[in-house]
Amino acid sequence: EWTDICLLRMFEAFLESAPQLVLQLYIMQVKGEADRQTVISCCISITSLASSLISYHRSLRDALPNAKVMNYTGVTLWFLWRLLTVSARILAIAVFAHQFTWWTFVGLGSHFLLMFVWLIFQKTKFYGGERRAEEVGFDFIIAFLYIFCWLNMKESRSRYRALFYYLVVYAENVTFVGLWYWKIILEVGSFYAELVLLWVMFGFLGGIGFMVMYYLLCHPKDIPLYVPPCSA
C-alpha cells in the first residue's frame, strides 16, 4: 500500500505540479520580472518533484525482500540526479515555449507519442499482463510522465532503455535551449541567457553523472529494481 501511495504522489507531482511549474516559468519570462516569492515557489516545486521520485524509489526498494535500506549516500546521489535532470528539462521546455509557443506543443506531443509507442512495444506488465486495456491506459500516463523524467517500467536490465531515453531528451533539450538562445540574443539579448544555456546543457549532464555514480556505488546489483506496485 505504501508503494501505491508513493506512486500516486509521484503521478500527482508530475501530472499537475510539473506543467504548472513550466507555466510559472513561462509567465515570468513574459512579464520580464520575477519576485522573490515566485522564485522560492519554483525552487520548492522542483525540489518536491525530485523528492516524490525518491519516495517512490525507496518504497520499491523496501518492497524487495533482499534489498538493503537506502543509505544517505544513495539518497543524495539519487536526489541530485533527479534534481538536475528534471530541472534542466523543465527549464528547457519553459524557455522554448517563451519564444516558440505553438512549436512547444508539437515537440512535446511528438515526444509523448514516441514514448507511448515505445512503452507499448516494451510490453509492460504493471497489471501482470492480464488486463491489456488497463495496461495501455497505464502506458499512456507513463508516456506523459516521460516528458519530464525517466522511470524503469520493465523488470530487466534498464541501461539501454535509460541510454535511449536520455539521448532523446538531451537532444530535445539542446534543440529547445539552442533555438531559444538564438532567438532571444537576436531580439533583445539577455543577461541570464548564458546561465540558462549552461544549466540546461551541463546541469543535465551533471545529473547523468550522479546517476552513474549511484548505479556504480549504491544500486543493489543482485536484484532488479522494479516491482509492479499493485502486486507489492
Contact 89, 204 (CB under 8 A): yes
Could you give phi then psi for residue 101, rounded to 5 degrees? -55, -55
What DSSP line would sit under 76-145, residue for residue?
HHHHHHHHHHHHHHHHHHHHHHHH-HHHHHHHHHHHHHHHHHHHHHHT--TTTTS-HHHHHHHHHHHHHH
**pTM for the predicted model, two decimal places:** 0.87
Give how far Cα 75 sits from Cα of 40, 68, 220, Å. Answer: 23, 13, 13
Could you give phi then psi for residue 227, rounded to 5 degrees? -135, 120
**Angstrom distance (rounded) from CA 198 to CA 7:** 32
**Sign of the C-alpha dihedral, residues 101, 146, 177, 22?**
positive
Could you give phi then psi for residue 222, rounded to 5 degrees? -100, 5
- pLDDT, residue 194, reads 86
- pLDDT, residue 211, reads 92
**Angle at CA 165, nearest 5°, toward 76 and 225?**
50
Q: What is the largest CA-CA distance in the chain?
A: 58
- pLDDT, residue 65, reads 61
**Angstrom distance (rounded) from CA 108 to CA 89:** 11
pLDDT in tens, the chain (232 residues): 555 666 777 777 788 888 999 999 998 888 877 778 888 888 898 888 888 888 777 776 666 666 666 778 888 998 999 999 999 999 999 999 999 999 999 999 999 999 999 988 887 766 655 667 777 888 888 899 999 998 887 766 778 888 999 999 999 999 999 999 988 876 655 677 888 999 999 999 999 999 999 888 876 654 444 445 444 3
